[in-house]
Amino acid sequence: MINSIKVSHMTPDSQQQDTARKALLNAARELFLKNAYANISIRRIADKAKVNSAMIAYYFGSKSGLFREMLASYVEQVTSELKANINQTPKASSLEGILLNFYRSMPAELATLLFRTLSFEQSDMRDWILESLLKPTLAMAEAYFAQVISHSNKDEITMVVRVSFQSMLVGPKLLEKPLNELDLGTIDDDFYQQLAKFNARLFASYFNLEATE
């Protein structure tokens, strides 16, 4: 009788490659979010990750490819809660989870980077962010809004409501650093938990979603 043994599909080489890839992504997050894209060299990223610089071309094709993969990985984290709730009955509690997940997954530096790129640049990177990141994310948001409408007494999601919701999400992250520097209060995880609850109640009240709690 042959004993059943659970064997990992990853060989030592593949495990090492996976570790190197993750190290490069982590290094990219740390460097790109705190420095201008043009000021970060392939060598600097590789040194930070403690891998050969040729690995960037191997895994990502180029510095640009690594940058895009880094952005996409963050967007995946940010939209995970939204994806999970698209086909669920909308509630104040689930909306609170969506908001809190965004606040926790979106670094203030990333919000600033995206805002700066979209607002002040005309480049291939800006076009890629719009087409590959923002459009799919907005499509998910629209699917969620459709669920909200189906459980409310409203007929549509207006532009005012859309912008208000986007402001609830992005505004606090863009203001996080200056607000902390002004010493008006601490913008930390406890603050974001309270903010998520407050904003969720506002939004749910407008759409009469409280009864679904």
Contact 113, 122 (CB under 8 A): no
Contact 105, 94 (CB under 8 A): no
What is the band of 38 on the pLDDT scale with cuts at 50, 70, 90? confident
Q: What is the pLDDT of residues 105-141, one digit of tens each?
A: 999 999 999 998 899 888 899 999 999 999 999 999 9
- Token reading at 195: 């903010």
As a whole number of angstroms, the distance between CA 207 and CA 209 comes to 5
Mention every residue, 6+ apart, whose C-beta is less than 8 A from residue 80.
101, 105
What number of CA atoms fall less than 13 Å from residue 11's CA on the CB side?
2
What is the band of 8 on the pLDDT scale with cuts at 50, 70, 90? very low
Residue scoring higher pLDDT (31 or 5): 31
Q: What is the pLDDT of residues 195-208, one digit of tens each?
A: 999 999 999 999 98
pLDDT at 153: 84
Contact 156, 95 (CB under 8 A): no
pLDDT at 22: 93
Q: 210 vs 89, 95, 129, 154, CA distance in Å? A: 12, 11, 35, 14
What is the reported pTM? 0.82
Q: What is the DSSP string of 127-189?
A: HHIIIIIIHHHHHHHHHHHHHHHHTSS-S---HHHHHHHHHHHHHHHHHHHHHHHTTSS--SH
Q: Taking all residues of the chain, what is their mean pLDDT, rounded to a whole number?
A: 88
| Average pLDDT of span 40-50 | 95
Q: What is the pLDDT of residues 146-188, one digit of tens each?
A: 999 988 888 888 999 999 999 999 999 999 989 989 987 889 9
Contact 189, 181 (CB under 8 A): no
